[in-house]
Amino acid sequence: MQGAGVSDRQAWELDPALSAVAAQEHPAPPRRALPAALVGTSYAVDLGVLQLLRMGGAVPAALLPIYAAAALAHIGVFGSVQWLGLNRRAANPNLTGLQMSWAIALQLGAMLWAPAIAGYFLGVIFVVFAFGALRLPLRSALGMWLGTAAALALLLWLVPTLGSMPEALRASPWIRAGAGLGFASLLLRCVLLNFRAMALHTRSLQHAARLGAEARAARERASRDGLTGALNREGLWPLLQHELDSVRRQQTPCCLAMIDIDWFKVINDDLGHLAGDRALRGLVDLMQRHLRAGDRLARFGGEEFVLLMPRTDERDAIEVVERLRHLVATHAWSEVADGMALTVSIGVAQAHPRDHAEALLARADTALYGAKASGRNRCCVAFPLGD
């Protein structure tokens, strides 16, 4: 466990792998205290186990103060580095690789000093890897593994008695108590790491989902007109391109209507621009409430709107826009502003397989001008393209 990072929240929360997401959610202040409770507790457990094993005669008495000094130095050195902010420019600000190296070197040295209980120190090394390797890049983790494996192989070569304990020592109740406590603590640390890793993974997934929802909401806001809530040009364009692709590939009908408020400048001049804004919002709300499920309304600019009608032929499109025109003409606009009356002129064009977006819009716009030239408050249909 000692090889873990000892930054504030990681040590306190048993956090084995502080992700970039968590770092964004909880940015570290320039300086923060070092509550190394986790690392200190882990070292304290090790010292307790070593004390029991010392009382059984398996550990030299001199090992305990040296082990304690190395543990305090681990916490002090890396805590000071983080407290002073000296790690900010490091590729891994938690200095995970260095901390793992420190802890592993301590366990290897302790093995050499007390070879009879090498199995316990090997278990601690497993915990160090379980805790620290989660936060290392694969290349660094493999390098750490290779170095540790080489050091263990060298120890096994130099110390043939590594891990062997005389029968007399195994009979000691202190040895049995120390072994039981030691391996139970190692299992507990692994269990805690596993549950904490799962909790971190869950939190990362939740944060990723939240970021995805926020990104979708941002895209939705960017595709909407701020005044009316209708789609804007950026929101309309991909939908229009998709429908034109369907017209070309599947021969499905599609119609588009250009809708313009009649004499809107007069409304602004006579009733004021605020009344004009309310009229725009009211018009969009009225039309949105009476559109079919697949229809899409966009504000194209000023008082001009585009209605995209997928899977709709010219005859059905005329019925749709005539209904909308009548609804607008008969709506009680005086409730929006005293003296307000509002009508719309509409031009309709059916998409042709050869159409691109600009051409379809231009044909609907030409039909709109025809509606205005014919007296306004009416619908006109664009001439169809020949085959």
> Exposed, middle or buried: residue 265 (CB in 10 Å: 0-12, 13-18, 19+)?
exposed
Report how far residue 345's alpha carbon sits from residue 368's, in angstroms, rounded to the nearest whole number: 6
Q: Which tokens go with 360?
A: 């379809």
In angstroms, what CA-CA distances link 328 with 239, 241, 321? 25, 29, 10
In angstroms, what CA-CA distances link 42 with 48, 75, 180, 348? 10, 11, 16, 76
**Is 303 among the catalytic positions?**
yes
Angle between helices 233-250 and 357-373 (to 10 degrees): 110
Report how far residue 73's alpha carbon sits from residue 92's, in angstroms, rounded to the nearest whole number: 20
Query: Catalytic residue among 214, 234, 303, 335, which?
Result: 303
Q: Which tokens go with 378?
A: 């009416």
DSSP bridge partners of 48:
none
Among residues 331, 302, 321, 322, the alpha carbon closest in space to that of 228 is found at 302
What is the chain's percent helix, strand, coil content, to nearest 5? 65, 10, 30
Tell me if 6 sits within 8 A of 97, measured CB to CB.
no
For tokens 């926020």, the residue is 214
Phi, psi of 302 (to 5 degrees): 60, -120
Phi, psi of 349 (to 5 degrees): -140, 135
Strands 379-381 vs 344-350: parallel, antiparallel or unpaired: parallel
**Known catalytic residues?**
303
